Structure 1
């Protein structure tokens, strides 16, 4: 049994060895075949790679050649463009050279002409000098002859003539002065009264029409009943809180707020706007809204004053003066806003002071403050210029600025050079065309009346009212009026305008007399 097992194992081992040898031989042959195939594939791949490399090389060479040709073409274009530019520059240079040569030749010609003219002038001067010498000799001979005839020397005769002319001039001047004084005494009182009456009329009319009424627009007339309230309690509470008269009439979609204080009118307008927008209108709510709006308006006034001083570059103003400057926003005169007028006057003062070599900052400060007397918290019986001067003194402004404020309407004597500048700039800002409101029909009528008044005089051919009626040009016939009468005519027209017309500022009358001499060459 054991032998069989041993024999089986031996047979198994022999069989396994034979199978192993056979497999090894087969694997060896197979590996040899695989190596041969791999070698063949490698050779084929190398050949294909060489072929592809050759193709790539040719493509790259073609690309390089193409780029080279493109670069060459671009360079040739640049060279051609540069050559064209060089040719243009050369042609311009040649043209300039020709122009310079031509100018040089022209200069030579002109120099020759100048030399000829100079030589001619020298000859003429020598001739004139000779004639002057001859004239001097003749003049000297005539003087000697006159001295012999009169028995006086030339200096003695001159002195006698001067003395006689002095006496005549003194007599005529004294007579003229006496006439002027007499006429001034006769007309001064009448002219002063007329100016005062005209000023009162203008200010009263403008204040009543332009500055005492504000119209508040509403969406429908139903709101009027709510504003009036039961038995009028709402409107009474609103009038008591604001100090403004509220007029509710048949005017459609409008309520009139009437008061001479523009700040109170503005408070009433804003309060009424908030109440109408909110819809709750009763006495307690009215007092609350009016109080709140009054604080807002006061803050707006102070902010406006600060913004104005910053814009104008004015520093160091007292807070109360700043508040007064802000209040000017709600004041107007002849339709001209007082704050805009003061700003314009300040800028004009600075410009004029700079031109005259004075301090422009002081002039601008005085120009801004010159009308603060128009917006006081209380209304004393003083002209606004004097009141403004007292306010400026109260808040520690310098003496020359206070004097400029007080004297810009000649209430006090001017003591500084800034004062006349403020006066002039105030007049310029107030009287320039377009500054103050005037009805168009009245403006046109005033210009027509000016022209017709001047045309009524004999000898006047044409009249033109220019510069918004501040100058009247009168053209007279040279054959009907002589030079002496033109001055008299301008004075007569000016006097008649003063007596018969109402106008802002002053009117300049210019009488023009033109003499023409006409001849015809045949």
Structure 2
């Protein structure tokens, strides 16, 4: 509005200034510079024009002022209307806020009433509980625990009774049929003994002279380096031994060592011999794998046939791994036929369940998991892969095929004559006894005795006190009971020995008197020197702990 007023004033001033300029340009009647007097008519006309311009400017100013006044009035009315609307909104907001405050006060009042009622109820419950506890002479926690324990015992007893009844009913119906089925399956197997395939070759050294022995050991060293075996020489027994975990490398070393002994080859002749032996054995391995797959009515890739053939040179407790896999496959097929399952898939799962043993010497992990990964790479069905991984519960068995494979594997491994596990179990038990005993602080040596029925433990006297010996023996016995499986009992003996030695000096007067008596009697024995006389004592020899080695030997 102020801007409009300023514009109007400027317009009026401009109109007045224009009129004055026009009037100043007209000749003045009294001006001395004019040579001639002005024409009256012209003066009158100029005056009239000036008056008209002034009037026109005045009219324009009045019009502008009227327009400005009307606009200012309109804007004033609009502002007043806006102020009224704003005031109405503020009034509404105040009303709503007042209503909200009323509701909040009402809610607070109701909440206080509810809190008061809750406190009253809690107080009443506390009073009632205290009255009950006084009447029953029993606190609340003990009463709740007693009731819950009673309910738990009743439910557990009822549940156990139902489970036992259901199990007895099912076992009574299923056990005879299962026993008959397993007996029929086991009677169909032709292999009634552990495999006797050659795994060891005697390499006597006693019949060789020094030159021949050196030649043989040099050749055996080349064989060991090439096949990854470990060469050991027993000088007492005059024997050389090659040890290793790789079944193919072990067989290559065995055949090459036999040929070296028979043909009396030099070390320079060993590399070509190993090359020929390895090539021949590769063909034999593939042929064995193809034959086994053909007998199981399986179509396998060459890689699978080679892995299967490798199992022929892998042994577990004296049982040939390939024969074990074939037997497990046959058992799976028979069980599947009796149970109405797929025989082909069952035979494949049983045949391939130990396929991981062909490479477990090179790959870290359980042979079940390794075998499952190998079959996955070779494109085997997921059901067979799961059965292979789960047959030792490395993976939770979730299918009937997995459980069938577990049963067939157990039947093949546990039937009479399947395994020669006496020596291997004995050595493993002795080694485990030594491991459990020697892992404790302060233990110096441990010796298993009486075929593993007793273990004697020697401790360091500076690290283990007398009061700690009984506690240590009990602790080791508990660990043996927890970690080992053994027949009968195992006696644990902890020995702590302290030896102290002192020397008493000889009495000089007594020695001189003895010398004089000997001189007077003419005794030719030498006189006792003035000093100490010690009798040399034999040194105590300690038995060396027997070494335990469960690896296959050549």
- For this structure pair, what is the TM-score category when the shorter chain's length is used for normalisation? 0.3 to 0.5
| Higher Rg of the two aligned structures | 2
Q: Which structure is higher in RCO with an 8 Å CA cutoff and minimum separation 6? A: 2
TM-score under structure 1 normalisation?
0.43
TM-score under structure 2 normalisation?
0.41
